[in-house]
Amino acid sequence: MGGESKIKDPVKLLDIKRDGSKGMIQACDPDVSVLGPAFYKRYADKNDVGLIMGLDAGLIQSGPVSEIKKRARRLIN
């Protein structure tokens, strides 16, 4: 499954999300892994909205912990 990473112009879907929320957008895997956290941060900064990024629930459930930490650090940095 996926959202922004599956369409030609992911910004259009982010625009819809932005217009439907109150100053906040959410992004989750696999989209964040495919497009990169920086893509979402640039969009959030440009549009003056907050950003929530989530890790893959399957990864959190099954690990390994080292990969969870690696992915979380990528989102933070």
pLDDT tens sequence across 13-57: 999 999 998 899 999 988 999 999 999 999 999 999 999 998 888
Residue 75 has pLDDT above 90, yes or no: no
On whether the CB atoms of residues 23 and 50 are closer than 8 A, the answer is: yes
d(CA 17, CA 74): 23
User: How many beta carbons lie within 10 A of that of residue 28, not counting itself?
Assistant: 17
Residue 2 has pLDDT above 90, yes or no: no
Supply the pTM of this predicted model: 0.84
Write down the pLDDT at residue 7.
93
On whether the CB atoms of residues 4 and 33 are closer than 8 A, the answer is: no
Cβ-proximal residues to 51 (8 Å cutoff; 6+ apart), any chain: 24, 25, 26, 27, 40, 41, 43, 44
Write down the pLDDT at residue 76.
85
